[in-house]
Amino acid sequence: MADLPQIYREILGAFPALEPGRKKGYALALPTLTAELRRHYSYGEIKTACEQMEKGGAVEIRNEIFVSPTDLGEELIEKLTGKAAQPQYVPPFTPPK
């Protein structure tokens, strides 16, 4: 993991940082990633890095804006951050009487 360039580390690390209770494969929008990482990277750099990760099989980009980790991406996120995606539980909705 030490040989993974910093931009990829920061993008992957943003997933649990922005959504601690996220489900596996939970997507983030490119503008959201840019807002989180704007001190270090431009939108274009983040978009290009995500496209490179898509080519490498770590993420999927949907509708040209939503970045979703694949199984490989989830594995990398867990190795980098120590945080695995968590199943979320929300109780069923029962309308009040």
Residue 71 pLDDT more than 90? yes
List the domains of the chain with CATH numbers.
Answer: 6-81 (1.10.10.10)
Q: Calculate the CA 67 to chain-centre distance.
A: 6
Half-sphere exposure of 28 (CA within 13 A, CB side): 25
Give tens-digit pLDDT for 44-67.
999 999 999 999 999 999 999 999
Are 83 and 77 in contact, with CB atoms under 8 Å apart?
Answer: yes
Residue 87 pLDDT more than 70? no
Look at residue 2 in the predicted model and tell me its pLDDT. 80
Residue 25 has a CB neighbour count (10 Å cut-off) of 14
Give tens-digit pLDDT for 1-51.
789 999 999 999 999 999 888 888 899 999 999 999 999 999 999 999 999
The string over 34-71, giving b where at least 16 C-beta atoms fall within 10 Å of a residue's C-beta and e elsewhere, is bebbeeebeeeebbebbeebbeeebbbbeeeeebbbbe
